[in-house]
Structure 1
Amino acid sequence: MAQPQVPGDGGETLELPCGETRSVRTFDLGMREFDCACGERHAIVMDAHPPERFLPDFLVSVLREAVETTSEEMPEFGTAHLLGIVLEEFPQRVVSADVSDDGDVGAGILWVTDFDSRRLHEIIVELVVELMEHAISHAEDDGAVSAFEAQMLEFDVSEFVAEYRAERDLSEDDVYA
């Protein structure tokens, strides 16, 4: 949970899922993960990061058309919704902070996870596939349901993430991946 600090001392402090604390100003828009003092790497996501960081453009477009949002602040499906799904599934392994009042951070919302960036990417893809499976299960077209189920039997999340990250040049060893 973010804790207010004295102005000018480096911003709010965020308690990470591992128990370590960091100033929110430690993180910047270019970071995708960092090596923590706890010995683990934690993924970093900001609302300014596009959802295409995790999913192909065409899928983001489909999700934007299909998913109705109820928020005036976030009227279209985006990164905040993806991290909301992760937070709902793993509430103890994700922390977030509203950093919109801190101009030094450069974002409105910051999430830090107990996962490294690659595992977070896999989790997001897994959860989106589950969302799609749920949606297709309500279809009245048995052929579409069967076709989707057959495609999902061949879909390998880990392989997809590896290929997508390679295509986007998000190296495993890159702290900014």
Structure 2
Amino acid sequence: MAEPRVPGGRGAKLELPCGESVHVHDLDMGMREYDCDCGDNHAVVTDVHPPSRFVPEFLVNVLRETVETDDDLGEFGTAHIMGVVLEEFPGEVVSENVEDDQDVGYALVWLTDFDSRRLHEIVVELIVELMEHAVSHAENDDAMTEFEEEMLDFDVSEFVEQYRSERDFSGPHDRAV
């Protein structure tokens, strides 16, 4: 007997921003992009992808030490990053909670209307904004001035290009969280 396709249930189907749809069983934990029938690639992120997919582990550690979360997702991680992306781009990101579907290996999945490289740039931009906001609350004008000066020399595209070329996705920090 066929299982019904219900939101959040086994075999959930995601309606993509481009108008196409994809079953969560067509998405695996190692997938970073979905080659869509619309002709575009859509970034794929699951909750088991480490935040170091986007930024170095030392920065992930700093974020975990400084960003307080008040949800049941635990310390600052990929789910929080994607929550910020979803908040900034609500029409360009779809997500699904599939924790009841033990066949997929992840509990949360996000797909974006943009490819994984563009998503990477967006995540870095949003993390820089988060850091700037945190520094502004430090009540230290010198720290804010220094941060702003450092950011004048920071090129998001260049950082993403270098990080993606050097990142070892099979390294010790690229593990399920």
Q: Take 2:71 and 2:158, find their aligned partners in 1: how far apart are those partners?
A: 34
**1:109 has 2:105 as partner:** no
- 1:156 match: 155
- 1:174 match: none
- 2:14 match: 14
- 1:100 match: 99
- Give, as a single letter, the amino acid of the residue that structure 2 aligns with 1:42: H
- Where structure 2 has 5 or more consecutive residues not aligned to the other structure, the ranges are 170-177
- 1:133 match: 132
Please give the secondary structure, in 2, of the residue aligned with 1:39: coil
Q: Take 1:70 and 1:136, find their aligned partners in 2: how far apart are those partners?
A: 21
Offset at residue 169 of structure 1 (A)? 5.2
Offset at residue 35 of structure 1 (A)? 1.2
Instruction: Determine what percentage of the aligned residue pairs are the same residue.
Output: 65
- Where structure 1 has 5 or more consecutive residues not aligned to the other structure, the ranges are 171-177
Paired residues in the alignment total: 163
CA RMSD of aligned residues (A): 1.4
Offset at residue 141 of structure 1 (A)? 1.5
**1:32 has 2:47 as partner:** no
Residue deviations 1:4-57 (CA, integer Å, cap 9, x gap): 518xxx811110111101111000001000210011100000001000000110
Please give the secondary structure, in 2, of the residue aligned with 1:105: coil
Q: Take 1:101 and 1:18, find their aligned partners in 2: how far apart are those partners?
A: 26
- Give, as a single letter, the amino acid of the residue that structure 1 aligns with 2:109: L
Q: Take 1:13 and 1:141, find their aligned partners in 2: how far apart are those partners?
A: 49
Which segments of structure 1 move beyond 6 Å, counting only runs of 4 or more?
none
- 2:143 match: 144
Q: Take 1:138 and 1:76, find their aligned partners in 2: how far apart are those partners?
A: 21
TM-score by length of 2: 0.89
- 1:120 match: 119
- Give, as a single letter, the amino acid of the residue that structure 2 aligns with 1:11: G
Please give the secondary structure, in 1, of the residue aligned with 2:48: coil
